[in-house]
Amino acid sequence: MRIIAVANQKGGCGKTTTAINLSACLAKRDRKVLLIDMDPQGHSTLGYNIKTEEIGLSIYHVLREGLLLDDVILNTSVQNVSLAPANVVLFTIEQDIAFFSEKESRLQNAICKLKKKFDYIIIDCPPNLGLLSINALRAAGEVIIPLDVSFFSLHGLSRLLETIEMLKRHTGHNLETFILPTMFDRRSRFAREILDEVRNHFNGIIFSTPARHCSKLRESASFGVPICEYAPNSIGHWDYAGMADEVLMQEDPSMYEASVAVMESAINLIPDKVERQAAQYNGIVFVYRDAKAADVKIAGDFNNWIPDKGVVTSREKDGTWKKVINIPPGAYQYKFCIDGDWKEDPGNPNVVSNKYGSYNSLVIID
Ligand SMILES: Nc1ncnc2c1ncn2[C@@H]1O[C@H](COP(=O)(O)OP(=O)(O)O)[C@@H](O)[C@H]1O
Ligand SMILES: [Mg+2]
């Protein structure tokens, strides 16, 4: 079981949006997920259309009265997502448990007693580093920090990272840290520069899929429906689906290949005439379908961005283009070039921004 806290003391940077949509996207990938709302504002609870004023038992009763999590967990409209709800009652928790022993480990202890089985626990933190966030970070093995790149404060981020370091030292427990750029507007030069800076600064711990600005995310929250059900064809869904894939990839890198429909074993896919070459190449097949396209090329990190260099191409009658490339394990950015126009791979939701202000598709081969 992986326990992931979503934390940042700054409000409005996308914590709740991430908690709601990551939990839903993981559930769509057949993971059993428990979302724990640790914010008295109850936005994660509302985001699953559960009325905060109608909740009987909540996370407050777990933290204050030692109730079992199993007794407060509710089912949600999304199969495989359960919710430990929160409401305004949680505002007084700091005073109410101020003199309890182990007041910083109340959530961790509750999770230890959990009987229901989950693959993931996602914890949505409030916008401060008080007792609720400390409880969440203590219980978690990982923390995702959403970072609003449209309004970036390095100062706030370093304070949070310091807190996490302090917590690691204090509790002696390792907390894997990941940064998720949010509200990214690729048309804004400022946002692109900030994203590059954050990438340079936090190389290796940053999600390669930023959550782009998408008004459907805001709408979906107000209707109490996760984006995967509210607007499955929106960039908000693609980005959170890509993020969920990255989380699963950490679990087992081979999972990723199954989730990227365009990548299949070359040996089974390619037509007879290139079979021999492909077998010899033992390559990866990238598939592009467009009956009208007269010329389709592929370029990426794997061929120094020289279109079709080192690529075996086949085209089928129905307009399916197959590009076979021998690539060693690694992460690669790439694009298709369709009759002279560069395009991201429409079959691959995972993209990263490039220095030209557009996107490259990203594939990871292990
Ligand atoms: N990628 C995004 N694009 C557009 N709006 C977003 C995005 N992420 C979050 N929002 C909106 O921004 C507001 C703050 O986000 P929220 O997730 O509630 O932040 P936090 O939990 O950190 O306070 C909400 O109205 C939410 O719907
Ligand atoms: Mg929130």
Domain end point (choices 197, 222, 255)? 255
- State which of 8, 17, 153, 230 you would mutate to test the pocket of ligand 1, scoring each by most atoms of that ligand within 8 A of its C-beta: 17
What angle, rounded to 10 degrees, do the helices at 235-251 and 15-28 form? 70
Same domain, 217 and 295: no
Residue closest via CA to ligand 1's atom 3 equals 213
338 falls within a domain = yes
261 falls within a domain = no
220 falls within a domain = yes
Same domain, 85 and 229: yes
11 lines ligand 1 (CB under 6 A): yes
Q: What is the CATH number of the domain that holds 125?
A: 3.40.50.300
For the chain, the domain total comes to: 2
Domain assignment of residue 96, given as a range: 2-255
pTM: 0.73
Domain end point (choices 222, 255, 288)? 255
Same domain, 202 and 316: no
Same domain, 215 and 296: no
Answer yes or no: are the C-beta atoms of 110 and 70 closer than 8 Å. Answer: no
217 lines ligand 1 (CB under 6 A): yes
Same domain, 42 and 72: yes
Same domain, 222 and 321: no
CA of 52 to the centre of ligand 2 (A): 14
260 falls within a domain = no
Same domain, 42 and 152: yes
Domain end point (choices 199, 223, 255)? 255
Residues sharing a CB contact under 8 Å with residue 253, sequence separation 6 or more, in sequence order? 364, 366
Q: What is the pLDDT along the chain (366 residues), one digit of tens a residue?
A: 999 999 988 899 999 999 999 999 999 988 999 999 999 999 999 999 999 999 999 999 999 999 999 999 999 999 999 999 999 999 999 999 988 888 999 999 999 999 999 999 999 999 988 899 999 999 999 999 998 887 766 666 777 777 778 777 766 778 888 999 999 987 888 888 888 888 887 878 888 878 999 999 999 999 999 999 999 888 898 889 888 888 987 776 554 443 333 333 333 333 343 343 444 445 688 888 887 888 899 988 888 788 888 888 888 888 888 888 888 877 888 999 888 778 888 878 788 877 667 788 888 776
Helices (H), 203-252: 215-223, 227-230, 235-251
Same domain, 228 and 298: no
Answer yes or no: are the C-beta atoms of 249 and 258 closer than 8 Å. Answer: no
Residue closest via CA to ligand 1's atom 20 equals 12
CA of 19 to the centre of ligand 2 (A): 9
Answer yes or no: are the C-beta atoms of 167 and 134 closer than 8 Å. Answer: yes
Q: How far is residue 148's CA from residue 180's CA, in Å, rounded to a whole number?
A: 9
